[in-house]
Chain A
Amino acid sequence: MNLFMYQLHRGVVGEVDSVIEFRKVTKRFGDVVAVADNDLAVMPGEFLSILGPSGCGKTTSLRMMAGFEQPTSGEVFIRGANVTGVPAYRRPVNMVFQHYALFPHLAVSANVSYGLRQRSPKPAAAEIARAVDEALAMVRLSGYGQRRIHELSGGQQQRVALARALINRPAVLLLDEPLAALDRKLRRDMQIELQNLQRDVGITFLLVTHDQEEALSMSDRVCVMREGRIVQTGSPRELYDRPVSRYVADFVGKTNFFKGPSAGEVLSIRPELIDIAASEAELPAGVSARFSVKVLNRIFLGEHTEYVVAHARLGEFMVMAPRKTERHAGLYEIGEMIAAGWRPEAERILPND
């Protein structure tokens, strides 16, 4: 699937119809513009994340795809059909809600079979039972069918919510911050599980999140939103390496900003692209900018060490020193004067928005 997506982006394969498409979609709540004139196409089989801070319009976008909200202007297409104005219960998409929204009065199996039971004609009982067993097996919850929702842990509830949505084989699975309610360890596990699941079922996933790490680690493409507008869409690598603006560089990964060549521009240098050494002469060859800096803080993080250093003119900035280079250089002490520098290609001039 990833190769296919890659070829698609490079124009190797021909035009493929999108599963969900926004055409000039705007949503206003009173005077507030939640989504402003957005065009977005979700491609079949891809894992797309919409990333942005709270209030950027990402959840509203998702809700317009699900049919809970209707756009003020513009059109929404699902599998080529114009679904603008069509209510949620007539749209072939399913959603995993932030707090799962599992029906507390129904057992796990009745929750999972809910979508199938709404179909007309209703499938035979045996057929529903088989589909439920399959769906529960898919999320590794076989044998949990008769459990009550409140007897399940957060991670298990999460998986029931996934099974309840995926059993319907939706055109797109919409995920609204599905991992936000889980603790850190479980979140890592679920990230991997979600990715595997998406690959196995081959259903398009559209995830909404404010967690950049989540978006970068799971998605084929990430769409960064700000104040109702899409700022940049691209693969996680593209966003990280070639952000279009200060906003994207700041939101995706960690970075240092320095004064740019003009008032409207900033210089961005990722902390892992900065080299440090005991003296300026010991910095690797090819490092063009060399500075004498003072170590202000040091955080040992295992595979790398995070330093905060200060330069008389540039001010404070962050350096990520990988363990590998440190091995022969040794740890630097707080207060010590050392050297920092970077290669010309590390410099990125971005519009200061």
Chain B
Amino acid sequence: MRLYVMLIYVFLYAPIGFIVGGSFNSGKQAMVWQGFSLDWYGKAFSNPLIMEALTTSLYIALVNAVLSAIIGTLTALGLQRVGGWTRAGFDALIYIAIMVPGIVIGISTLIAFVTVFDAVNPLLSVRLEMGAWAVIAAHVLFNTAVVALLVRARLQGMDRSLVEASEDLYATPFGTFRQVVLPLLAPSILAGFLLAFTFSFEDFIIAYFVAGPDVTLPIYIFSSIRRGVTPEINAVGSVVVLSSFILLIAAQLILRRSGRPAG
């Protein structure tokens, strides 16, 4: 049992361990150990191309996570109020959005954008084209569904009488939403936000289709790997792993805090 569990962990984390280990290699070849050094981190962080890609990725991930959390939550709340076929239809659409492979979303959003841009660009003074905003739009499409599912699960598990108790205690519908519904949904909204952020941050396939001239971090890594894996890329990868880790711990702390006495 012990050995079995350890093998699973080794299988899961060994590749990440290699990346992190390789990032401290002083030599130029990622695969040949030549001594410990932090040089590659310095190089990575002083590489303007990497920093620009990182900024673009963070920007896309953040905007996407905020929009998905808001739209997804509103979707879940709205679906709570409709019934029958309308609800079944939207449920189906949500599941489809999640099940469709990334490459299909990539191709279809690309075609959609191209068609729409071709149609409206002659009518506008500004020129719409592929780029970070197109990536955000495509990511929000997928992540809204994820957030909606998470929030809906929480909503369905929520005791309906809590809303009634709030109304019974003179809170207006908006007051009830602000003081009861939102705080109770907060953990699932936050979880959705983090999932959306992570998904967007590490997405390569969809971004590759619609990013246009903008370069996200996964796109940068992919294009530089064609020139060989360098410890510099390992350093970037290690930083990404570390930041995801910090993000997860932060989320855990927030979730745990929400379980403690409030005022």
Q: A: which residues have CB within 8 A of B?
A: 66-68, 87-90, 93-95, 97-99, 101-107, 110, 114-115, 118-119, 146, 148, 164-165, 168
Contacts and interface: CB of A to CB of B under 8 A. Distances in A.
Interface of B: 159, 161-162, 164-173, 175-176, 179-180, 183-184, 258, 260-263
Interface of B is mostly: helix
- Most B Cβ at <10 Å: residue of A88, A93, A102, A146: A88
Nearest to B187: A105
Contacts of A118: 169-172, 175
A345 to B, nearest CB: 47
B180 A103 contact: yes
B171 A114 contact: yes
**Which 4 pairs between the two chains have the least Cβ-Cβ distance?**
A101-B165, A115-B169, A101-B161, A118-B170
Contacts of B161: 97-99, 101
A34 to B, nearest CB: 17
Contacts of A102: 165
B165 to A, nearest CB: 4
Given A95-B165, A168-B169, A101 B159 contact: yes
- Most A Cβ at <10 Å: residue of B161, B168, B173: B168
A107 B168 contact: no
- Most A Cβ at <10 Å: residue of B167, B172, B260: B167
A94 B169 contact: yes
Contact of A103 (B165, B170, B172, B261): B165
Nearest to A147: B261
Contacts of A67: 167-168
B159 A89 contact: no
B263 A103 contact: no
Contacts of A87: 167
Contacts of B262: 105-107, 110
B166 A114 contact: yes
A110 B183 CA distance: 14
B258 A105 contact: yes
Contacts of A168: 169-170
B263 A110 contact: yes
A88 B165 CA distance: 9
B159 A105 contact: no
A140 to B, nearest CB: 21
B170 to A, nearest CB: 4
